[in-house]
Amino acid sequence: MYLRRRCRIKGGIQYESWALVESVRTARGPRQRTVVTVGKLPGLDAEEKIGWEEIGRVLDGKPATTPSLFEQEPDIPSWATVNLKGIQVERLRHFGDIYLGLALWKRLGLEEFCEQHIPSGREDIPWSVMAAVLSLARFCAPSSELQIADSWYSKTALDDLLGVPAEKINDDRLYRALDALLPHKDNMCKHLQKRYGDLFGTKFDFLIYDITSTYFEGMGKANPQAQRGYSRDSRPDCVQVCIGLVASAEGLPLAFEIFDGNRTDVTTVEEMVELMQNKYGKAERIWVMDRGMVSEENIESLQNCGARYLVGTPKSMLRKFEQELIDKGWQEVQNGVEVKLCPAPDGTEESFVLCRSEGRKDKETAILNRFITRLEAGLDKLKQQAEQGRLRDRQKADRRIGRLLERNSRAASLFDITVEQQGTGNQSRLKIIITKHEDRYEWLLSTSGSYLLRTNWTEKDPKEIWKTYIQLTQVEDAFRTAKSDLGMRPIYHHKADRTQAHILVCFLALVLWRTLQQWMECSGLGTAPRKLLEELREIKSLDVLLPSRDNKTIRLRVVSTAPPGLKILLQRLKLPLPNRPKIIENVVPTLAD
């Protein structure tokens, strides 16, 4: 690497700056690539001229101040005599991703909220700062508190951005920060609702509710909520807790509650609605839930408390609309998806919307046929073994049939299996009689890809009702993000409070993620925060050491140059990177030869 002097003439005036350049091999031969710009003179590209002292204003969303054309920058030498052969680079740190995460944290007002609500005591580092460290670590590089203290924090530029040296971050302080943060969960959720409205104009006419689970490593004996239940992570061998998440129609997380691991989805609805009304007040909101949440008791409970709802229904309810399935009058809502509004069969004020999807039909039919093929093959094998006398124990036969039906549950209702004992003694044989119900099979084929929505919403346009219900995919995507990208699973904490605090930090990281997604969408940048974070992780903070000829060193703290495409993205987000170096150690400048 070497320093290159750059010259530019603007308005008849020549401006000069230095750039650290490295030579790289390419298929077309050696090329030079700019690593960082280590110095600019006043007046050049003033709108992009951001220094480290202005980072706070940028993170708060305020425009950075820039010197005027004729104003000399303080404390920055114009020239120094430098030994080019002795140039070094030190202290390489992650910058881009934590810079973005801290901007999101501040613009959501979470820094101010924590400062106001978490009481201060004799602690050396404010709990509001530690809450930011926990959430940013979960957002940028999910890891345990021990790993944050041992390695992650010291490899980031957070000590520069937060002013907290790495030796002050230890696992004990991080664990105590979890304890300090947890009591303010409900107030934080209220604060976020207000900030969503201020930032994006979000309305809360619709509340989308869904539930997931996350499992523990260990027995979780100190946590009464850790129980075995239906695992969405395919880990029935582990204890778990269930998490109910409420989100806006845009998928912005609003609130969450933690339930025992053995709770079924349908039993959480009444409790969750009551909790939301007690904490955030009653309003004319519409609850959107999938069919796993639906029972007649829940529908009655929602009606009694005056709540509106839009829910999926069990597949069996389609039989009440058998004639509507074959009648005309369908409206296409998008390519391959049709809907139809139907009145309630019992004459109530409810409305039902029949939906059918060609893509979903092909998928469900293929899955059903695969289960049928596997079940028939297994049953035929058992039948042949019984006829050949190799299967004589009736209890063993019943167990094997039960396992087959369990593994192929989607096709189990299509078959009746009867096991009969014939003969006595050594001549006894088992006879397995298999009956397939073709009428049930035809019904399943005819309803494949079809589903039914139920609502007491006054909206009568089936297209609008379907579009609202399909927003459930936003919560499902949020669950995938929390588990995969933000590392919510597995849980290693043993105590109930620490488990809830861990999930709260994951919730805050999810808030940052979904806010970034909404921010990108409003800026016309799509909805792929994962890709943006990957690119920003390549932006580093580093120190460039410039040895002078009088045995002193100039140490410049700089941020690596972003590729042109990433620069455009950051400009659209109004989040410029610092491009003016910070002088850590300096010598008296001398005129260059």
Task: Spell out a b/e string for 550-571, using b for 16 or more CB atoms within 10 Å of the CB, else e.
Answer: eeebbbbbbbbbbeeebeebbe
SS3 at position 262: coil
> Looking at residue 56, what is its pLDDT?
84
More confident residue, 317 or 23: 317
> Looking at residue 348, what is its pLDDT?
78
CA distance 415 to 435: 6
pLDDT at residue 29 is higher than 50? yes
SS3 at position 281: coil
CA distance 489 to 515: 22
User: Beta strands 206-215 and 308-312: pairing type?
Assistant: unpaired
Residues 412-425 have pLDDT tens digits of 999 999 998 887 76
Give domain limits for the chain.
2-95+539-579, 202-314+459-493, 360-447
Token pair of 245, please?
């998440």
pLDDT at residue 41 is higher than 70? no
pLDDT at residue 96 is higher than 60? yes
**How many DSSP H helices and E strands does the chain contain?**
20, 18
> Looking at residue 241, what is its pLDDT?
96
Contact call for residues 34 and 561 (beta carbons, < 8 A)? yes
pLDDT class of 548 with cuts at 50, 70, 90: confident
CA distance 463 to 341: 9
The backbone torsions φ and ψ at residue 183, rounded to the nearest 5 degrees and listed phi first, read -60, -15
Residues 164-209 have pLDDT tens digits of 999 999 999 999 999 999 999 999 999 999 999 999 988 888 999 9
H or E segment to which residue 101 belongs: helix 96-107
Q: Which region, left, alpha or beta, applies to residue 251 given φ > 0 means left and ψ of -120 to 50 means alpha?
A: left
pLDDT class of 114 with cuts at 50, 70, 90: very high
CA distance 300 to 315: 20
pLDDT at residue 94 is higher than 90? yes
The backbone torsions φ and ψ at residue 533, rounded to the nearest 5 degrees and listed phi first, read -65, -40
> Looking at residue 353, what is its pLDDT?
94
Let me know the angle formed at the C-alpha of 233 by 255 and 189, rounded to the nearest 5 degrees.
10
Token pair of 499, please?
């488990």
**Mean pLDDT lowest for which of 310-314, 425-429, 446-450?**
425-429
Name residue 420's beta-bridge partners: 431
CA distance 224 to 530: 35
> What is the value of pTM for the model shown?
0.83
What whole-number percentage of the chain has pLDDT above 90?
A: 56
> Looking at residue 80, what is its pLDDT?
65
Name residue 429's beta-bridge partners: 422
CB contact set of 73 (below 8 Å; sequence gap of 6+): 42, 67, 580
Contact call for residues 208 and 475 (beta carbons, < 8 A)? yes
Q: What is the third-level CATH fold of 202-314+459-493?
A: Nucleotidyltransferase; domain 5 (3.30.420)
> Looking at residue 587, what is its pLDDT?
46
As a whole number, the mean pLDDT across the chain is 87
pLDDT class of 107 with cuts at 50, 70, 90: very high
CA distance 288 to 480: 19
CA distance 182 to 185: 6
Q: Give 434's DSSP letter.
A: E
Exposed / middle / buried, residue 126 (Cβ in 10 Å: 0-12, 13-18, 19+): middle
Count of residues making up the chain: 593
The backbone torsions φ and ψ at residue 41, rounded to the nearest 5 degrees and listed phi first, read -95, 155
**How large is the average pLDDT for residues 539-549?**
88
Contact call for residues 158 and 133 (beta carbons, < 8 A)? yes
More confident residue, 275 or 65: 275
pLDDT class of 585 with cuts at 50, 70, 90: low
pLDDT at residue 590 is higher than 60? no
What whole-number percentage of the chain has pLDDT above 70?
A: 90
Token pair of 239, please?
């204890």
Spatial CA neighbour of 512 closest among 40, 103, 78, 23: 103
